[in-house]
């Protein structure tokens, strides 16, 4: 399929496309509980005439103006200032914040996820003691070098960039006129490259039973699954993101089956199933291979093992 922008709006927004993909994921999961965000992104990209989500993203970014550095982590602080007018000028013209509210004694400045309230009244306790507070505030950014260059170009005096190993971030410092120490940083871990479209997406184990309807009731009432579909020779049962099929035991499907299920909390699930009378094969055990796990047998001997990674 050749890439085409014919179905995109004149000025497509990558943020809006990501929102659409999340909405599409919610729709997909109604019919396919195991659907992932990558599935929704791929479907949206194909609908808009692109071979893949990365191709769509590249097309939108190529036509967008250069992206400005953003503050990406929520920060909300109250900082005192001796001169509100001078503080506003510094935060707006040097640091690039937007002025949202302002009166004679306070002002709120905003940049990305960060909100700072500046106030002259907050200096009064410190002035009585003849000292300055010198607060420290940390801001996380998605483009450390770009932000440092922008602040420097606007007349700021940022420090050099250093790597702080115990915080796992690269950062630089800026001091405002009131002695506050403002740190701007970003994790120096390299972001993972975009994942390719997956071929295999989920697995549904088939567990054989002589009495499928009785097995369906057992999985529902004892093991906490919900019945998705049921007939005499098959049962489809879901719990959270997991689906199992109960099938009739026949000459082609003999013996017993087994499945391994990753869970959020093995101990909590063990306590739940114990109360419901499940055939639990011992308490959870932390295994040398990094999984805390326990097993349960259904009413005909199929084994379900539940494990939680701890390393």
Query: Looking up tokens 């007939």, which residue turns up?
Result: 231
Do 75-187 and 206-309 have matching folds? yes
Q: Are β-strands 136-140 and 181-187 bridged in parallel, bridged antiparallel, or unpaired?
A: parallel
Domain range summary for the chain, segments of one domain joined by +? 14-62, 75-187, 206-309
Predicted pLDDT of residue 189: 66
d(CA 299, CA 301): 6
How many angstroms separate the CA atoms of 194 and 174, rounded?
34
Task: Name which CATH class applies to 206-309.
Answer: alpha beta
Condensed to tens digits (0 to 9), the pLDDT of residues 230-266 reads 999 999 999 999 999 999 999 888 889 999 999 999 9
**% of the chain beyond a pLDDT of 70:** 89
CATH architecture of 75-187: Roll (3.10)
How far does CA 43 lie from the centroid of its chain? 21
Instruction: Give the model confidence (pLDDT) of 127-181 as tens digits.
Output: 444 445 578 999 999 889 899 999 999 999 999 999 887 778 899 999 999 889 9
Q: pLDDT class for 125, splitting at 50, 70, 90?
A: very low
Q: What is the pLDDT of residue 199?
A: 83
Give CA–CA dist 132/127, Å, rounded: 7
pLDDT of residue 1: 45
Q: What is the pLDDT of residues 189-199, one digit of tens each?
A: 665 667 677 78
Full-model pTM: 0.43
**Cβ atoms of residues 106 and 84 within 8 Å:** yes
Confidence of residue 11 (pLDDT cuts 50, 70, 90): low
Gap between the Cα atoms of 196 and 52, Å rounded = 9
């Amino acid at each position: 399929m050749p890439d085409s922008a014919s179905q995109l709006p004149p000025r497509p927004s990558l943020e809006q496309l990501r929102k659409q993909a999340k909405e599409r994921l919610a729709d997909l999961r109604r019919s396919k509980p195991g659907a992932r965000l990558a599935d929704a992104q791929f479907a949206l990209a194909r609908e808009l005439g692109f071979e893949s989500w990365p191709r769509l993203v590249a097309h939108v970014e190529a036509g967008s103006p250069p992206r400005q550095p953003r503050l990406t982590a929520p920060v909300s602080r109250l900082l005192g200032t001796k001169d509100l007018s001078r503080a506003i000028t510094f935060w707006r013209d040097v640091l690039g914040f937007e002025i949202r509210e302002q009166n004679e004694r306070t002002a709120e400045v905003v940049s990305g996820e960060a909100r700072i309230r500046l106030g002259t009244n907050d200096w009064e306790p410190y002035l009585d003691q003849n000292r300055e507070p010198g607060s420290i505030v940390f801001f996380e950014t998605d483009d450390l070098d770009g932000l440092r260059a922008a602040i420097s170009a606007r007349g700021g005096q940022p420090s050099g960039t250093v790597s702080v190993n115990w915080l796992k971030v690269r950062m630089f410092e800026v001091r405002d006129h009131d002695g506050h120490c403002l740190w701007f940083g970003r994790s120096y871990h390299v972001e993972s490259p975009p994942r390719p479209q997956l071929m295999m997406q989920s697995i549904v184990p088939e567990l054989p039973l002589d009495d499928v309807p009785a097995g369906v009731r057992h999985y529902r009432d004892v093991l906490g699954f919900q019945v998705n579909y049921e007939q005499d020779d098959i049962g489809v049962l879901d719990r959270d993101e997991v689906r199992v099929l109960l099938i009739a035991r026949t000459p082609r499907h003999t013996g017993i089956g087994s499945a391994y299920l990753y869970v959020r909390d093995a101990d909590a699930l063990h306590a739940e199933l114990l109360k419901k009378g499940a055939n639990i094969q011992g308490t959870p055990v932390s295994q040398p291979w990094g999984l805390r796990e326990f097993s349960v047998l259904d009413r005909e001997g199929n084994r379900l093992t539940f494990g939680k990674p701890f390393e």
